[in-house]
Amino acid sequence: AVISVPLFKRIGLGSVVGYLVGGTIIGPWGIGLITDVDSILHLSEFGVVLLLFLIGLELKPQRLWILRRPVFGLGGLQVILTSLTFFILLSLLGLEKRQAIVISISISLSSTAFALQVLGEKNELNTTHGRSAFAILLFQDLAIIPIMATLSFLTESSSNPGSHGSIKEILFPIGTIIAVILAGRFLARPLFKLVASSANHEIFTALSLLIVIGVSILMNQVGLSMALGSFLGGVILADSEYRHELESNLEPFKGLFLGLFFLAVGMSINLGEVLKDPILVILLAFILILVKTIILYFIGIITKHSKEVSLNLSTIISQGGEFAFVILGVGVSLSILPKERADLVIAVVTLSMGLTPILGILKDKTSKWILKEDQNIKEDTIEEQNRVIVAGFGRFGQIIARMLFVHKIGFTALEHNPDQVNLARKFGYKIYYGDASKLSLLRSAGAEHADLFILAIQDIDVSVKIAELIKKN
């Protein structure tokens, strides 16, 4: 990892591909330095757990409630449409129906770890497509309970009186979630207060890890995903006065374990299965990505996202996910799926995960001509020049705008996202559509006469470019 990650970041492929290649090299199909991949993979899952906990800390319960529509709307639509499409395709290929159901459900899910890591590296977690992707991934975590219940109904023994057990399996996790919420509200805060009063930093860190790991293991024991459990724990503590301390304590562990997770996925790539028929595995991986990309793009368009947002959304979560390993494993243990077929699907899913960063790079390179129509939207003619110019009208830009409005200071707002412009105009803001990195637009906005120029653009590279442009001219 020390060698491969910086190397692959240097050539523009991102850290995830570096971890995967590093894992493949040291794994059982490489030089064989690591042979017990399952143990490493199980341990490294705590990277995903910590990642979801830290994301949960950023989402207060009120904000999570606001997300309910995209979570159940976008997420539900994605899982149902993708599963149904793959089921039809697999059935047409002559696959037995129960096997088609297991495989189609498993490959409909995406990789939370891979998608969030790529979004984080590009600073896109708080963009429209980043939030939509997160909503879909969160629904997929929630969907694990009914998915596992569905698998139990597919077995030959499902006709036996076992339906009461299935109901119990659904009600028990719900009861556990309620218990965790109550414990977080009434026990966690006093406990943190007690430990914080001792002024022992190591004990505070240990308590942080204990809560994250404890909640995750508890959720895992009742049939839920560990990632969902840790996310829930994070949301419960999002209102806590110790939130920032928790973040700073857990951030180093998250990076370490998440890197280990990607290495373990690289180690688990069954090159033997790939080498049996490499063309078939590569072809199936590309078909998986292509079908999911088309479905996600379609969902983005019908839910009134712009073409750009829909394209970004479709490329970021079009891969298979780590839950496929679990679902396919259960399918094999229930004698629904032959092990050889499950191994083939796992190889395809793993390869699709590895292709995620590369797909993102291809999207960035080709989006200019794919979205040519969107880019040809005419920039607004700026009719006025004010003392203050605000470039970017996202969350930060809107906060600045409200402050200026309260103090009755005139400002000119510039935004390059058509969706954001339309949304801001609905709330009564006078905002102009245009690219603030263009000198002609800045001059028409009166940048040379402005007293204050505020950069509120999410993209760091674009912000630096604009800052240099203003300094130069």
DSSP assignment letter at 378: P
Q: Which pLDDT score is estimated for 163?
A: 47
CATH 3.40.50.720 given to domain 388-472? yes
435, with CB counted inside 10 A (0-12, 13-18, 19+), is middle
Q: What does the DSSP assignment read for 20-32?
A: HHHHHHHSTTTT-
For 293, the token pair is: 């990309």
Q: What does the DSSP assignment read for 317-347?
A: S-S--THHHHHHHHHHHTTSS-HHHHHHHHH
CATH 1.20.1530.20 given to domain 4-370? yes
What is the value of pTM for the model shown?
0.66
Q: Which pLDDT score is estimated for 164?
A: 47
State the alpha helices, DSSP H only, in 323-438: 323-333, 339-354, 356-370, 372-375, 395-406, 418-426
Q: Strand, helix or coil at 93? A: coil
Q: Which pLDDT score is estimated for 291?
A: 93
Q: Which pLDDT score is estimated for 290?
A: 92
Q: Which pLDDT score is estimated for 158?
A: 45
Compute CA 237 distance to the chain's CA centroid, rounded to the nearest angstrom: 21
Q: Which pLDDT score is estimated for 287?
A: 92
Query: What is the maximum span of the chain, computed from C-alpha positions, in angstroms?
Result: 80
Residues 6+ apart with CB under 8 A from 92: none
The Cβ of residue 178 has, within 10 Å, a number of other Cβ atoms equal to 10
Q: Cα(74)–Cα(65) distance, rounded to whole angstroms?
A: 15
10-residue mean pLDDT profile of the chain (473 residues): values are 78 73 78 72 70 71 71 88 93 89 91 78 76 85 73 58 54 78 78 76 79 81 73 75 73 73 74 79 91 92 82 86 79 81 85 79 68 52 75 85 85 80 73 80 81 83 83 81
Do 233 and 212 contact (CB within 8 A), yes or no? Answer: yes
Q: Which pLDDT score is estimated for 188?
A: 77
Per-position b or e across 17-47, b if 16+ CB within 10 A of its CB:
bbbbbbbbbbbbbbeeebeebeebbeebbbb
Rounding to the nearest 10 degrees, give the CA dihedral for residues 371, 372, 375, 378.
-140
- pLDDT one-digit tens code per residue, 203-219: 877 887 788 888 888 87
Report domain extents, the chain: 4-370, 388-472
Q: Which pLDDT score is estimated for 410?
A: 83
